[in-house]
Amino acid sequence: MLTFYYNGAPNPLKVALFLEESGLQYRGIPVDTKLGEQHTAEYRKINPNGKVPALEDGDTTLFDSNAILLYLGEKTGQFMPRADKDRGALLSWLMFVASGVGPYSGQCVHFRHFAPEKLAYPQKRYDFEARRHWQIIDDRLAEGEFMLGDAYTIVDMSVWGWATRIPFMLGDTAMEAWPNLGRLMDWIGARPATERALTIGERHRFKQEFDEPAMRNLYPQIFAEDPA
Ligand SMILES: N[C@@H](CCC(=O)N[C@@H](CS)C(=O)NCC(=O)O)C(=O)O
């Protein structure tokens, strides 16, 4: 039995999607990040980075959504490329999402919605970089139905996690610029497993308010002293 540490945010969503698609049995443990449950000593032993998702599989403990997707793909053989020749593409695109799409999208959301001051240049930079990364994804999807051609893989699941947030990140009509990505989102969105994954945030009564204690737990740097 797997143990999945989650909330309803984009990175845990990707793992929820794999778990729901694969039919693997798992126990979900909610981590309410607005209450600071990601910062407890007990949780830091599971995820030293103090974020969700994390996963336990017997004696194996994993953190970072893309590492978990790769682990589960290799463990089950599901949602992996059909041919060995595609392994290079799998690793490249998965790392591109992990190191580019996700972080730039996250910073874009932060400076647009949560930064204590509205600062023009950080907002411009992260909007620009988020759009640039999504354009690269869209161009890739113009070449084939899925990120790795004709098979639905963990790379598509990884793309999907952050793409669910594009309207919040870049505006309600932003997705219109990326029709190939929109097509993939519609395809994934029509699957029953996706419906189940999207509602993981409703399986527990997570704190909703962005009050000061929540902001301190999520963005401690806002309240930190400047380094000397
Ligand atoms: N690289 C990590 C990033 C994890 C991450 O940033 N998770 C967010 C939710 S999407 C989180 O836990 N935020 C709470 C916090 O930063 O305290 C991954 O892909 O799993």
172-203 residue pLDDT tens: 999 999 999 999 999 999 999 999 999 999 99
What's the CA gap between 138 and 195, in Å, rounded? Answer: 23
Asked if 163 and 181 touch (Cβ cutoff 8 Å), the reply is yes
Q: Is residue 228 part of a domain?
A: no
Nearest Cα to Cα of residue 93 among 70, 63, 68: 70
- How many Cβ atoms sit within 10 Å of the Cβ of residue 78? 16
Residue 61's CATH number: 3.40.30.10
52 CA distance to ligand 1 middle (Å): 5
170 CA distance to ligand 1 middle (Å): 19
149-178 residue pLDDT tens: 999 999 999 999 999 999 999 999 999 999
Residue 182's CATH number: 1.20.1050.10
Helix (H, G, I), strand (E, B) or coil at 205: coil
28-69 residue pLDDT tens: 999 999 999 999 999 999 999 999 999 999 999 999 999 999
Which residue minimizes the CA distance to atom 17 of ligand 1? 218
* Pair 23, 41 in one domain: yes
What's the CA gap between 141 and 191, in Å, rounded? Answer: 19
83 CA distance to ligand 1 middle (Å): 31
50 CA distance to ligand 1 middle (Å): 8
Helix (H, G, I), strand (E, B) or coil at 203: coil
Q: Pick from 52, 69, 154, 222 the residue to mutate for probing ligand 1's pocket: most ligand atoms within 8 Å of its CB.
A: 52
Identify residue 100 by its one-letter amino acid code.
Answer: G
As given in the structure block, the two tokens for residue 49 are 């980075």
**pLDDT range class, residue 226, cuts 50, 70, 90:** confident
Residue 220, pLDDT > 80, answer yes
Among positive and negative, which fits the CA dihedral 7, 8, 10, 15?
Answer: positive
What's the CA gap between 169 and 102, in Å, rounded? Answer: 12
Name beta bridge partners: 30: 6
60-96 residue pLDDT tens: 999 999 999 999 999 999 999 988 999 999 999 999 9
Q: Which residues line ligand 1 (CB under 6 A)?
A: 9-11, 33, 38, 51-53, 64-66, 102, 218
* Pair 52, 92 in one domain: no
Q: The domain containing residue 163 runs over which residues? A: 84-190
Asked if 52 and 14 touch (Cβ cutoff 8 Å), the reply is no
53 CA distance to ligand 1 middle (Å): 7
Nearest Cα to Cα of residue 109 among 96, 122, 95: 122
Nearest Cα to Cα of residue 140 among 99, 111, 183: 183
Residue position matching structure tokens 């694969």: 22
Helix (H, G, I), strand (E, B) or coil at 190: coil
User: Rounded to two decimals, what is the model's pTM?
Assistant: 0.97
* Average pLDDT score over the chain: 97
119 CA distance to ligand 1 middle (Å): 23
* Pair 51, 28 in one domain: yes
* Pair 143, 218 in one domain: no
DSSP state of 101: I
As given in the structure block, the two tokens for residue 165 are 């947030």
Residue 228, pLDDT > 90, answer no
Q: Pick from 11, 40, 47, 160 the residue to mutate for probing ligand 1's pocket: most ligand atoms within 8 Å of its CB.
A: 11
* Pair 209, 153 in one domain: no
What's the CA gap between 118 and 79, in Å, rounded? Answer: 41
- How many Cβ atoms sit within 10 Å of the Cβ of residue 101? 22
Residue 227, pLDDT > 90, answer no
DSSP state of 225: P
Q: How many domains does the chain have?
A: 2
Q: Is residue 185 part of a domain?
A: yes
Q: Is residue 171 part of a domain?
A: yes
Provide the pairing of β-strand 2-6 with 60-63: unpaired
